[in-house]
Amino acid sequence: MFGRMAQRIAYGALAIASVVGLFLADAEIAAWAAGEAAPLSEILGDAPANSPILRLLSRGNLIPLLILAAVLRASAELMSLFEATGAKPNRCFAYLMVAALAAAPWFSAAGWLGSDVASQEGLYWPLVLMIVGTLGAAVLHVLRGKPEGTFRDVGSTVFVIVYLGFLGSFALQIRSGADVPQQTGVWFLLVTVLVTKAADIGAYFTGTAIGRTKLCPNISPAKSVEGLIGGLATSIAVATLFAASHSIALWAGTYENLIAFTSELSRFFVHNDGTQSVRWVAVIIFGLCVSAAGQFGDLFESCLKRDAGAKDSGNLIPQYGGILDLIDSPVLSLPVAWFFLTAVWSIG
């Protein structure tokens, strides 16, 4: 048991370090593409103005590509689970629509899908693509010429499109969307992902240490009420750390780059009135809601796996399973974070 736990800790630490490094690299490339000061300017020179490619890169680069790869791999795993239950989702069409939906906020914010206001709004193209996905799944099933399994097959195809395409697109709504400030979306997304995954870590260790009361024994026997509470508390603690990070850096007198970095991380939770004071109630609400959504996302994926008779969605990641096992919690927490970011706090 301790060997398995040590492996999970090692893989988890490596994954977190890799993700943070990727976010930093994405931010540097985006700053260079936008013509802002960045170390890349010393190597590549100043970016040419008004280039469509650079407009796209300024709205995200490495992160959108990673997200596209993740949702497509997760789609393959999810459709395999459906096939284990006897469903026959339309794989090619589902892949196409998931990729289009996930990438839509990135391309629309860069002006690639139209220069008018509607085309650049965050949800316009995802809604258009959802209509195409639903109608397309129905038309393609009719063209099969077999009414048997209509609910099962069309339902599984549409579910993959909605679950991983539409809900997954909120990752790039936060990173790249026109509703979010151009060079701060990367940090908003990083905060959301780390607060979400903190719940997984807190729930695992709390449940392992003191878990006694089963949460949903028919769905996930290992999960406990104590683990759920531990996950909620850990997410709030991590959100609090991000909110206070800039003040801590200033107090410690750390070097300029770290102070600037913590300023970006804490911006999610500060007032927009110029005082830079932290909204502590918002910190707690955000941590609770994102953590709860993420943990129930994990439970929901467990329902899918149990129905398919599978322990994991895949075996790509040692000690963790497949990509779907890794992103099941962010898939549900990212729309919640986007709602707070744009509709409640109006950060923009």
Cα radius of gyration (the chain)? 21
pLDDT at 294: 96
343 against 170, higher pLDDT: 170
pLDDT at 42: 66
174 against 179, higher pLDDT: 174
Q: Where are the alpha helices (DSSP H) in the chain?
A: 2-33, 40-44, 52-58, 62-84, 91-109, 117-120, 124-144, 150-160, 170-175, 185-210, 225-252, 256-266, 280-308, 323-339
Nearest to 334 by CA among 131, 180, 228: 180
pLDDT at 300: 96
- What does the DSSP 8-state code read for residue 269? G
Please state, for a pLDDT cut of 90, what percent of the chain lies above it. 58
CB 19 within 8 A of CB 186: no
State whether residue 321 is helix, strand or coil. strand
Span of 89-98, 268-277, 318-327 with lowest mean pLDDT: 268-277
Joined together, the tokens standing for residue 152 give 């099962």
Residue type, 322: G
Span of 126-135, 145-154, 198-207, 253-262 with lowest mean pLDDT: 253-262
pLDDT at 34: 83
Express each pLDDT in 190-199 by its tens digit: 999 999 999 9
Nearest to 192 by CA among 170, 166, 215: 170
Express each pLDDT in 93-135 by its tens digit: 999 999 999 999 999 988 898 877 777 777 889 999 999 999 9
Number of residues that make up the chain: 348
State whether residue 345 is helix, strand or coil. coil
Span of 80-84, 215-219, 277-281 with lowest mean pLDDT: 277-281
DSSP string, 206-264: HHHHH--SEEETTTEEEEEHHHHHHHHHHHHHHHHHHHHHHHHHHHHT--HHHHHHHHH
Q: What is the rounded average pLDDT of the residues 77-87?
A: 96
2 against 319, higher pLDDT: 319
Alpha-carbon dihedral of residues 326, 329, 330, 333, nearest 10 degrees?
180
CB 199 within 8 A of CB 232: yes
The structure's pTM equals: 0.91
Distance CA 333, CA 194 (A): 11
pLDDT at 274: 58
pLDDT at 167: 97
pLDDT at 84: 96
Span of 5-14, 287-296, 317-326 with lowest mean pLDDT: 5-14
pLDDT at 1: 53
* Distance set, CA 259 to CA 59, 202, 249, 267 (Å): 23, 28, 6, 12
pLDDT at 6 > cutoff 80 = no
Q: What is the rounded average pLDDT of the residues 299-321?
A: 88
pLDDT at 123: 82
Q: What is the rounded average pLDDT of the residues 81-104?
A: 97
pLDDT at 318 > cutoff 90 = no
User: Mean pLDDT across the chain, nearest whole number?
Assistant: 88
pLDDT at 305: 95
Span of 25-34, 53-62, 67-76, 270-279 with lowest mean pLDDT: 270-279
User: At 51, is the pLDDT very low, low, confident or very high (cuts 50, 70, 90)?
Assistant: confident
pLDDT at 35: 79
The number of CA neighbours under 13 Å toward the Cβ of 135 is 6
pLDDT at 245: 84
CB 246 within 8 A of CB 266: yes
User: At 227, is the pLDDT very low, low, confident or very high (cuts 50, 70, 90)?
Assistant: very high
Using CA of residue 47, residue 108, residue 113, residue 155, what is the dihedral sign? positive
